[in-house]
Amino acid sequence: MHSLLVTGGCGFIGTNFIRYIFTKTDYNGIVINLDKLTYAANPENLSDIAEMFPTRYFLEVGDICDIKKVSKIVEDYNVDAIVNFAAESHVDRSIYGPKDFLQTNVVGTFVLLETIRLYLERGKSIRFHQISTDEVFGSLAPQVQSYENSPYLPRSPYSASKASADHFVNAYINTYQIPATISICSNNYGPYQFPEKLIPLMILNMLEGKELPVYGDGLNVRDWLYVEDHCEAIWLILHQGRLGETYNIGGENEWENIKLVNLLCELVAKKINKKTDELKKLIKFVSDRPGHDKRYALNCDKIKRELNWKPKVDFIEGLNLTIDWYLQNSLWLHKVKSGEYIKWIEKNYLFR
């Protein structure tokens, strides 16, 4: 691999993945980051990487649904692998406005697959990796785990769009022999996550003394994985994963939301010299998310067995790293919240 196209690289996991490649691997090829720069993106996330590696990192602003743009990038940069992170990713937003989810998550993935199909037809070689989610398996009862071949039972517009995209990837593998893999991951946490998601939202609200909104009874369960562990697993699959296969990537670290919010209160209180109870008083049970999935849990035997991967970062250590990052990056938080980066986009792209 010498030319890797990463889509959605200005979002949370994509940013961490590109940083991982440049700082933790011996890869010496180029990385092209194709991102539409939606509300969830911040192009400044990678400005240090852009400065350090001007001949190896390239940001292309564009939409994965635009087949001309995608094909031109693949052609111009001689791309030999694509990792697709680009997506609308927030379940709550999918409930209030599902259309963008259908467009980017389904049509966008289809466009990437079509580009690859046509490229392969011309005798070129290119590999595809799709980033998927444990939400495709739907809501689980206690003790149950989802395996790679468990039936898909999506229940939100977000998970339906991700499930649909995975079906297209598998259909292209089966019908056109596209060299592709899929990974299915649980809830990620870590630096650069947009503060609409549970962990950064709670940290931010604690710092600002705002209410901590817990949906329903707070007993829904999520499995948490530090984002860098996810990045390492993707890198391994890209290099050693068997083509045509799907791999689960989980933290084996299940928490009820209310227990996690209480733990965050304890950890944040220590760092900002407040009493834990002062933060816990901010917890407020609010209306439940419509159709709120109760629990997700992945069985990760396959990736452990085949690729010798397991999560490295302990949960308390990962949460402390995450809290420290948000404490040290108040300017980043301010910018993503105020939409200030839009000005950056205008200056650098729109009126060039």
Q: Which does 74 bind (CB under 5 to 8 A by kind): ligand DAU, ligand NAD, none?
A: none
Instruction: Assess 140 for contact with ligand DAU (CB under 6 A).
Output: no
Range in contact with ligand NAD (rule: CB under 6 A) among 84-92, 117-125, 288-296, 315-323: 84-92
Q: Which stretches of the chain are assigned E, i.e. beta strand?
A: 3-7, 30-35, 57-61, 81-84, 127-133, 180-185, 187-189, 212-215, 221-226, 246-249, 254-256, 283-286
d(CA 85, CA 83): 6
Range in contact with ligand DAU (rule: CB under 6 A) among 83-91, 104-112, 120-128, 139-147: 83-91
Instruction: Assess 195 for contact with ligand DAU (CB under 6 A).
Output: no
Answer for the pair 104, 64: CB distance below 8 angstroms, yes or no: yes
**Residues binding ligand NAD: what is the number (CB under 6 A)?**
30
Question: In whole angstroms, how close is the CB of 234 to ligand NAD at the nearest point?
Answer: 10
Instruction: Assess 135 for contact with ligand DAU (CB under 6 A).
Output: yes
Instruction: Assess 36 for contact with ligand NAD (CB under 6 A).
Output: yes
135 given a catalytic annotation: yes
Range in contact with ligand NAD (rule: CB under 6 A) among 3-11, 21-29, 213-221, 267-275: 3-11
d(CA 83, CA 125): 15
Of the candidate residues 4, 131, 160, 234, the single one contacting ligand NAD (CB under 6 A): 131
Question: In whole angstroms, how close is the CB of 15 to ligand DAU at the nearest point?
Answer: 14
3-class DSSP assignment, residue 223: strand
Long-range contacts of 278-283 (CB under 8 A, 24+ apart): 279/206, 279/212, 282/205, 282/206, 282/209, 282/210, 282/211, 282/212, 283/211, 283/212, 283/214, 283/258
Answer for the pair 45, 113: CB distance below 8 angstroms, yes or no: no
Range in contact with ligand DAU (rule: CB under 6 A) among 76-84, 166-174, 196-204, 333-341: 196-204
Answer for the pair 94, 145: CB distance below 8 angstroms, yes or no: no
Subset of residues 266 to 325 that bind ligand DAU, contact rule: CB under 6 A: 289, 296
Residue type (1 letter), 258: I
- By beta-carbon proximity to ligand DAU, the closer residue of 242 and 294 is 294
77 given a catalytic annotation: no
- By beta-carbon proximity to ligand DAU, the closer residue of 32 and 163 is 163
Q: Which does 254 bind (CB under 5 to 8 A by kind): ligand DAU, ligand NAD, none?
A: none
Residue 196 has what DSSP assignment?
Answer: T
Instruction: Assess 166 for contact with ligand NAD (CB under 6 A).
Output: no
3-class DSSP assignment, residue 10: coil
The radius of gyration of the chain's CA atoms, rounded to the nearest angstrom, is: 20
Of the candidate residues 4, 111, 185, 300, the single one contacting ligand NAD (CB under 6 A): 185
Q: Give the residue from 17, 12, 14, 10 showing the smallest Cα distance to 229.
A: 17
Neighbouring residues of 123: CB distance < 8 A, sequence distance ≥ 6:
none
Instruction: Assess 18 for contact with ligand NAD (CB under 6 A).
Output: no
Instruction: Assess 344 for contact with ligand DAU (CB under 6 A).
Output: no
Q: Give the residue from 309, 324, 322 showing the smallest Cα distance to 235.
A: 309
Question: In whole angstroms, how close is the CB of 89 to ligand NAD at the nearest point?
Answer: 4
Please identify every residue annotated as catalytic.
Answer: 134-135, 158
Chain contacts with ligand DAU (rule: CB under 6 A): 89-91, 133-135, 186-187, 197-198, 201, 213-215, 220, 222, 257, 289, 296
Residues in the site for ligand NAD, rule: CB under 6 A? 7-8, 10-14, 34-38, 40-41, 63-65, 85-87, 89, 104, 108, 131, 133, 162, 185, 187-188, 194
